[in-house]
Amino acid sequence: MSITNIRPYKGTLPSLGLDNYIDISAVLVGDITLAADVSIWPLVAARGDVNTITIGARTNIQDGTVLHVTRKSPNNPNGNPLIIGDDVTIGHMCMLHGCQLGNRILVGMGAIIMDGVMVEDDVFIGAGSLVPPNKVLVSGYLYVGNPVKQVRPLKESEAAFLKQSAINYVELKNDYLSE
């Protein structure tokens, strides 16, 4: 980790948790809070400048992902912070903007999740999907498409993989930290 990739904004520096891995090419700016065992992989850009970003325990944010927020305004007094729960896998090249994700979620590569979206626990979002503003994705389903649609309930094996994916990335980041 270098001092240049963890930056303050208006005097607020990202708050790191225990045993985080943040790749040197990732950039974290401003009001960002990471829980324990979070991994931030190469070329991730996370900007907590006009609102907050919170990332839960054992969550991994994979290469090239962009994390941002929505500012507070008269029409939206709280704005839209970005809140990501525990045991979440965010695939390569995703964009998450001012949304809330629960626990045990997998966001497939290249997915875009827009402002005001609420994703409940135990959800798969397919690669390349677009979740439009203010949509709610209910627990226990696979969602795919542009715009995203609920396809079917998760299979038992898929639901189990949600937690396993997070465990796999905790083990991988521990390997990186031991180097």
Interval 43-56: pLDDT, tens: 999 999 999 999 99
Give pLDDT, residue 2: 46
Query: What integer best gives the mean pLDDT of the chain?
Result: 96
How far apart, in whole angstroms, are the C-alpha atoms of residue 59 and residue 57?
Answer: 5
Indicate if the pLDDT at residue 3 is higher than 70.
Answer: no
Give pLDDT, residue 150: 98
Alpha carbon separation from 42 to 39, 60, 159 (Å, rounded): 10, 11, 27
pTM summary value: 0.96
Indicate if the pLDDT at residue 170 is higher than 80.
Answer: yes
Indicate if the pLDDT at residue 127 is higher than 70.
Answer: yes
Give pLDDT, residue 4: 78
**Domain 3-178 falls in which CATH fold?**
UDP N-Acetylglucosamine Acyltransferase; domain 1 (2.160.10)
Alpha carbon separation from 46 to 25, 94, 97, 124 (Å, rounded): 12, 12, 10, 22
Give pLDDT, residue 1: 45
Give pLDDT, residue 178: 95
